[in-house]
Amino acid sequence: MPGFEWLGEEEKNAVAEVMERKVLFRYEFANERKGVYTVREFEKAYADFAGCSHALAVTSGTTALKVALASLGIGPGDEVITQGFTFVATWESILDAGATPVFCEIDDTLCLDPEDLEAKITDKTRLIIPVHMMGAAARIKEIMAVADKHGIPVMEDTAQSVGGTLDGKALGTFGRMGTLSFDPVKTLTCGEGGMVITNDEELYVRASEYHDHGHDHRPVGRGNEGRRFYGFNCRMNEMQGAVGLAQLAKLPKMLETQKQTKAALKEALERVPGLTFRHVPDEAGDTATFISWFMPDAEQAKKLAELLAKHGAAPVPWGVNTWHNYAHWEHLHAGSSVIRSGWPFKRPEGDLNYDPAALPRTTALLDRCLSWQIMLGWDEDKLKQMTQAINQSVSEW
C-alpha cells in the first residue's frame, strides 16, 4: 500500500490503448472506441473478483458513498449510524444527503462495536454504515445480526479494505451495498476513483442512473430515454478504468506482499513489553495495509511512538489524528459549514450538536493505539532497519 508503488508498463500500456481510441468518456461513441468499454470491463472484473452481481465505478470513494446513500433513499429526517473512527468522508456524505450522522463506539477491531450499535438505534435509524478500517474486517456478522433484528439495511464502507474478506466472503458484500475507494493511498489505485457494489439489481439500476444525471443505461440507450429522477455527474473515465484493470490484476500479489511484511513486523513487535495487537476477525482475510497495536495506556503509547521515531520508524499515533478520530473533528463539533444558512448543521427541526467527549471508549482506545502503514516497496533492508528500531526502543524502555 499504496498501489502507485507498483505502477508500471501494464498501466502505461492500458492508458495508451485508451488514448489511441481517443474516447475518454465511459459511454457512447461505439464506433470510435471499436466496441471497447474499459470502465465497464473494470466493473465486471471487480464484481467477479468480489463475487457480487453488480459493480458501478465512480469518481471517488466519497462519491461512492453519496451514490449509495441516494440509491438507498437516505435523506432529511433519517438517522444513519456509523463509527467514531473513520475517514471524514463517511459522515460528510451522510450530512450531504441531509441525513443525521449518529456516532458509535469502536472496539478492539478498531471498527464499529456491535454492542454500542444496539444502544444507538432509534425509530429514526434508516441505515447502518460500518467501516472496515485499515485493511481488516469489522465484526460484520454481529453487526448484520443487530441490523436484521431491527430491519435496518447495512451499507459497508470498504474504502480502506479493498480485497479483504471474512470467512472467504468479500468485504462490502455482506450488506445491501458496499463502497470502495481507489484514491492515491489505496492499495488498488486509479489516482482517484471509487466503486459501489451490490447484489441487488434495483439498487444497482438506481445507482447507475443517479451517477449519470438520471440517464437510463439499459437497452433504450443513454440520452434517448425519459428519466425517473435527477442525479449528478459521478462517472469514472476510461483512463481511470484502464489503470484500475491493470491494478486489479496485481492486487492478489500486492496483498500477499503486504501480509508477508506484516508477519515479519508482528514478530518483531512481540518483544515490546505490554503490547497487544489489534483484533482481526479473520487473519486470512486481512489485506495487511496496516499493522496496529495497543499499549497499556496513553502515556506508554506516546513513549513508544517517541522512541520509534527517534530510531527512524515513527508510527501513526491515532490519539492525536485529526482526519479519522471523532474527538478531533473540530469542524463537526463547531457545526462549521460553507453554506450561508448553516445547513446541514442548522435545521428547522433543530440544530445538530456533537460533543467531542461523546465517545469515551473510542477516545481511550485510540489514545493507546499506534500503527504503521505497510508499503509495497519495503525491502529486506527496510524491514531490518525497522526491526532494529524496535530492538533499540525496547532496550531504552
Q: Which residues are catalytic?
A: 186
* Ramachandran angles phi, psi of 127, nearest 5°: -160, 150
Distance CA 280, CA 286 (A): 7
Dihedral angle, C-alpha 384, 385, 390, 394, nearest 10 °: 100
What is the Cβ-side half-sphere exposure of residue 291, based on CA atoms within 13 angstroms?
A: 22
Element (H, E) at 181: strand 177-181
Q: Positive or negative CA dihedral for 208, 210, 212, 218? A: positive
Taking Cα atoms as reference points, which of 312, 314, 315 lies closest to residue 294?
315
Residue carrying C-alpha cell 458509535: 104
Helix (H) or strand (E) holding 55: strand 54-58
Amino acid (one-letter) located at 328? H
| Rounded-to-integer distance, Cα 272 and Cα 387, Å | 11
By DSSP bridging, strand 125-128 and strand 155-157 are unpaired
296 to 304, 369, 371: CA distances (angstroms): 11, 9, 15
Task: Return the SS3 of 54.
Answer: strand
> What is the 8-class DSSP label of residue 318?
G
By CB atoms closer than 10 A (0-12, 13-18, 19+), residue 204 is: buried
